[in-house]
Chain A
């Protein structure tokens, strides 16, 4: 058993994992329609590579962009592009944006793509290109392009790959069941990632209650006969699955504030991502499906489903027997950091690990907010060791400078402080607002700086032009004066 470390604070939350953890993964039916939002991340908009009316095959790229944080999007089944139009996208804003709509034809014909016979013979750069082309992003929820994470730059020395199998949010079990069902795929994926990173140390971290997953991975590692890879159990403590928290727990290292894991020589990848990498490299399958936990007391049958990316949530709910009458809120992600959806005609995307149809008794519906009583419980729970009550005072007063002094931007919005707050203050909302205000202000300032530079430049040009004009007229006057002098001189001589 490897030694593990602790991070400050954190919460032992009611897990609610039994709802879905011990059932086999169900293959979701092929939906009639697939929906693909073109906004991949904030500021990264893909361009469609297909037009309405065009037929597509499974695995065919339908949108891409040259933005360095973009990854291509693939059709998850064969069919016809019906339209490219505005639909509500799975995003906290609940706003509509451009989506590609595909009517599936039910034949599910796939493009055949090349597979790599032996990844160990491939250079890292070629693996990265293939991983990007397969559309792989972090499947743990952040959806950061995997190919970019695998390229930390020559100035950083990476020594450890950590596979994140710690599903610390309540309810979610998709990684747990994946590790149980396909331990070899996860292990092989990890080995490919280690090869791509050229690291000799790989650790798969699972939570201590995931006994079956731990066992399955252990024997898969044994079979692979690759002893550079180990699996460890870590205490189930929210948010231990947060990247910086996980690195702390597994290696004892603290990722610097404002830095990235690679700064301490570590790369983290989700176990689902590792499986997707294996499928892309060794089976030639781009990322078109994933395991999603459909759970909560608001749905009849809680289970994990292997679903095509782009499947409308309403389709999945129907296959789970529909909603219970008690359903109150539909959440994409977990109950701590997931966001509520305004309706269920919204597709799952690559980052969707969980659909939580929560009954009214499972979520906070009406909070009785009271003034902060300075109890300090929030500070005790904060995994980043911030002072949430101070952040609250200052963000509420709109004092953004003070917020920065109290390290607002180190806040990971995990919600621990808010859940323990006896005054039931919506703390995280205040932090989000303060963050976006700060960012908006910085943008304003930048704009103002650009405008000022432009203004200064104009002034300078005007001044220069004026000076030049003055110089010209001075010279002209001089010349005239000389001419006059010469004239009078010649006149006098005559």
Chain B
């Protein structure tokens, strides 16, 4: 009897990129659900817009580059990029913000560098920073969490808001928007109030902002699930949270009037999303085990530094991109010692 011959190993691969990406998407569900609950369905509309734009962009570019289209779309990496971008955007961002950001992420940040695996910078974060720099007004208008808002928006209102940039006649813009907790800590500190005073404001919940802490909790839950499924390693998230937490603790210990509690920083803004879903993007992170701890610590510290002393209230995107920049060097200096070789 004749057989086909193939080289070893013959065992089936135990993992696939498609599976990894799918699990990442599943793990995002609790966080997205919390966001929808507290901030309305705008986030879902954003996700849909971003995903459609990303898939169309990826398909066209693959076509132009003469690459297989459907097999590549199936790897879901474009979907992950789009979703990560969409949930980082303000929920009331007009539709073109989401679409432009998504296109920029896929076309410029991913495919211009050669596509999946070749991009040195996290595409979602490149898209985010591009939007933040180009359209600062639209990118900083955050909605108040539902429980603090006097107006309730219907589905139709939402569609009108995102696609036509119109609010119902009875509502004015300022009534629905509100500074994010990170934002208000910044501005209020600038006005001379102390952190404990600021935190008595109605926008603050138990630890971080109302609603925000639950969203962070959702991402934490999803992240822990990814850890448990071994889709991501502990090194980057723990490193990141540790870096941020340490910095925040030191500063808090020095002056608790000027610096917020470490727990505030851990649950505010994009900390959890960044730690478990964004900084862990393997393509743009350091690869060695020790390198990843350093990489996480670095990003965590940068987040704190930029939040407190930088020009922007939240800092995850900048910190991750700076981390991306250092990844090759970190890898170079953290090469493991080969078995049987001297150091």
Contacts and interface: CB of A to CB of B under 8 A. Distances in A.
Given A343-B3, A422-B17, A422-B20, A376 B283 contact: no
Given A330-B3, A363-B12, A428-B7, A423 B340 contact: no
Interface in B115-157: 115-118
B61 to A, nearest CB: 14
B9 to A, nearest CB: 3
A254 B4 contact: no
Interface stretch (A180-188, A205-213, A333-341): A333-341
Contacts of A227: none
Contacts of A255: 340
B337 A385 contact: yes
A419 B13 CA distance: 4
Contacts of A372: 117
A379 B287 contact: yes
B282 A376 contact: yes
Nearest to A259: B340
Contacts of B10: 329, 331, 335-336, 338, 340, 356, 358, 363-364
A140 interface: no
The binding surface of chain B is classed by DSSP as loop
Interface string A415-430: 1001111111010110
A372 B292 CA distance: 18
Nearest to A385: B336
Interface in A351-373: 356, 358, 362-364, 367-368, 370-373
Given A255-B340, A410-B339, A376 B9 contact: no
B287 A256 contact: no
Interface string A387-416: 101000000000000000001001001010
B9 A373 contact: no
Contacts of A385: 336-339
A377 B289 CA distance: 10
Nearest to A339: B8
A337 B8 contact: yes
A63 B17 CA distance: 52
A432 interface: yes
Interface in B1-25: 1-20
Given A370-B116, A410-B339, A364 B75 contact: no
Interface residues of A, number: 69
Contacts of A490: none
Nearest to B3: A330
A314 interface: yes
Nearest to B337: A385
Given A375-B282, A423-B17, A170 B11 contact: yes
A419 B9 contact: yes
A189 interface: no
Contacts of B2: 342-343
Interface string B323-343: 000000000000111111100
Contacts of B3: 328-330, 340-344
Contact of A374 (B15, B287, B340, B341): B287
Nearest to A338: B8
Given A418-B13, A422-B19, A384 B5 contact: no
B285 interface: yes
A420 B15 contact: yes
B15 A422 contact: yes
Contacts of B20: 373, 375, 422
A420 B336 contact: no
Interface string A221-262: 000000000000000000000001000100000111111000
Nearest to A414: B9
B35 to A, nearest CB: 27
A8 interface: yes
A52 interface: no
A379 B341 contact: no
A335 B129 CA distance: 48
Nearest to B20: A422
A329 B14 contact: no
Given A336-B10, A338-B10, A419-B9, A379 B288 contact: yes
Nearest to A340: B5
Interface string B300-343: 00000000000000000000000000000000000111111100
A385 B282 CA distance: 19
Given A254-B340, A371-B117, A426 B7 contact: yes
Nearest to A386: B338
* Most chain B Cβ neighbours within 10 Å, of A255, A371, A377, A410: A371
A321 interface: no
Given A257-B341, A259-B340, A373-B116, 20 more contacts: A256-B340, A329-B6, A333-B8, A335-B9, A340-B8, A343-B2, A344-B1, A364-B6, A370-B116, A371-B116, A373-B20, A373-B117, A379-B288, A385-B337, A415-B9, A415-B11, A419-B11, A419-B13, A422-B15, A426-B7
18 contacts: A170-B11, A257-B340, A323-B1, A328-B4, A329-B4, A340-B6, A341-B3, A364-B11, A364-B12, A364-B13, A368-B16, A376-B289, A385-B338, A385-B339, A415-B8, A422-B15, A422-B20, A428-B8
A-B CB proximity, top 6 nearest: A415-B9, A371-B117, A257-B340, A375-B282, A376-B287, A340-B5
